[in-house]
Structure formats: structure tokens, C-alpha cells
Amino acid sequence: MSTETKVGAFVLSCFAVLAFTVIYLLNAQFSGGTVPYRTYLLYAGGIEPGASVLYGGINVGRVTAVRPWAADPTRIEILLEVKKGTPLNEKSVAKLGFVSVMNSAALSITTGSNDAKRLPPESTIASKESASLDEIAGKLATVADNANTLIVQVEGELNSVTSNVNQVLANLDTMTGPPNQRKVRDILDNVDRLIAEERPKIARITDQLATVSQHADETIQNVNGTVTDLHDPMRKDLAELQITLEQAQGLLQSLQVIVRANDYKIDDTVENLREATDNLNQFTNSLKQRPWSLVRIKQPEDRQVPK
């Protein structure tokens, strides 16, 4: 016998021993007793007799037969055996699964519910269809088509947004360009010039207010001299009137401070000062024409003709 023949015989012997060991282990694994069940699927791709049966991911049995169902050939009948004591229940669901990516297909059964009723032997396990490779490929193709459409739409919107951004940048350049800068500079120069021109006028108005106040003081002093010999109640009324006029003078001084502090409000200040000057002039004329109004609040009634 040649060396090659001896090596070949040794390899065959080793393979036979390995096969016997595997068969022995499988028989020993299920020697404790198995329970038959069945389930039905529309698609049983890759499941063949001998495929693993997984309960919650644990190998608990094997598939014994895969064939079209006699009662409904559109469904696939799958016969299986699981270890005795496997807690299959009415909430358990069988579906196509895989032990791992590299292994062949297997029948996967969910654990169901602990409160559900246990399934007796020869019962039918509820099933749930898994997506086939063709369905997955079709969905991927649909997703790819939608993605291409979406990309085209996004490109169009991006182009629109880009053009809008460019227009905004161009507008900003126009707004901040040299022509507008010169216009703003001219406006500021005009404001400065207007303030410089109106400041002397405001100062003159303030001096006029001071003169009016001085005249009001002299008028008050004259009135005091005129009513010196009047009775005490009349003097009291005159004293109150003097206090009122002093308050008016303080108000005029406050207005003068406000005018100096807010000289940039030229139009409003001039108009308010003109109204104050008219009121003071009217008040002075009223005192000159009706000095008795300082003593009497109301005008005496006309005397009636004696009957």
C-alpha cells in the first residue's frame, strides 16, 4: 500500500468518526424527547429540513419538513420538533430568521407572554411574514428613486437660495456704498449747521424770558406797593398770588434749563416758548387793565337801576 493510499484512508476514517460524533451529539441533544408543532408561511426562503428552530434566540429544535400546504398550496407548511418543556404559548409567533449573517435560514419563534396559555403538541404556531429579498430590493429601488427626486429638488432650491443671497449681498453693497455714505455725511453736516445757526436764537429767546421774568417781578413789587394799605385778608390773597407768580417764575427757569438741555428740538421749543411769551403778555396786560382782579376773584355784578 502506497503512502498516498494510507493518507487517504486515514482522512476518510477521521471524517467518518467526526460524522458519527455529530450524529451522536444531535441524537443525544434530542434524546430527552421532542414535541411536534407546525406553522405556515407565505415565504419560507432558505428553510430546509434540518434547519434550526430558535425560541427567543435559543436553539430548541429542528425543522422536519418544508412543503406546500395541501389545503392551500399558496402557503408553505413547516413541520418542526422542539425540546419537550419548551414554553410555546398562544402569543408565540413564528417567522423566518437567521442564526447569524453567515449561517443559513432558521425558524425563529418569539417567547410570547407568560400569562398566555401553553400550546399542546401538534398545535399550529401563529406566524408572521418576513420581507423577502425581492421586496427589500424593490423598497430600496423606490427609496433610491425618491432620493434622486429629492436631490434634484434640493439642488433647485439651493440655486434659488444662492441667487437670493447674492441679491441680498448686492443690496447691502449698494446701501453701504460710497454714494449713501456721502448722503449720510451731508445729512449730519446739515444737522450740525442747523444747530449752530439756531443756538443764538435760542439764547436770545432765553434772554427775553429772563427780561419778562424781571418785568413780572417789578409788576409784583408795584402791586405790593399799591395794596400795602389794604386789609389783612386782601394782603393774604396778594401773598398767595405772589407765591403763585414765584412758582411761575420757577417754572420759567425750569423751561429755560430744559431748552438749553434740549436745543436739538428747535421747532417744538420755539413754539412752546412763543406760547409762554403770549401768555405772560396777556397776563401783564390783564394786570394793567384790571388790577382789581388781584383782589377780587369774580367781577362785581352790574348795579341795578333804583326803582
Residue 99 pLDDT more than 80? no
Top-confidence range, 23-27, 73-77, 226-230, 272-276: 73-77
Region 109-132: mean pLDDT is 88
Amino acid 5: pLDDT: 75
Amino acid 131: pLDDT: 62
Q: Are strands 126-127 and 93-98 parallel, antiparallel or unpaired?
A: parallel
Residue 57 CA to residue 37 CA, distance in Å, equals: 18
Give the model confidence (pLDDT) of 133-187 as tens digits: 556 666 777 777 777 777 777 777 777 777 777 777 777 777 677 777 778 788 8
Residue 217 CA to residue 253 CA, distance in Å, equals: 14
Buried b (16+ CB within 10 A) or exposed e, 25-63: eeeeeeeeebbebbbbbebbeebeeebbbbbeeeebbbb
Residue 253 pLDDT more than 60? yes
More confident residue, 6 or 212: 212
Asked if 92 and 119 count as a contact pair (C-beta separation under 8 A), the reply is yes
Amino acid 265: pLDDT: 64
Amino acid 215: pLDDT: 77
C-alpha 278: how far from chain center: 59
Give the model confidence (pLDDT) of 221-234 as tens digits: 776 666 565 556 67
How would residue 14 be classed by pLDDT, with cut points 50, 70 and 90?
A: confident
Residue 304 pLDDT more than 70? no
Residue 40 CA to residue 67 CA, distance in Å, equals: 10
Share of the chain above pLDDT 70, in %: 74
More confident residue, 193 or 290: 193
Nine cell digits for residue 161: 437660495
The answer to whether the pTM exceeds 0.85 is no
More confident residue, 223 or 34: 34
* Lowest-pLDDT choice from 89-98, 119-128, 176-185, 204-213: 176-185
Strand partners, 54: 59, 108
Residue 107 pLDDT more than 80? yes
Amino acid 71: pLDDT: 92
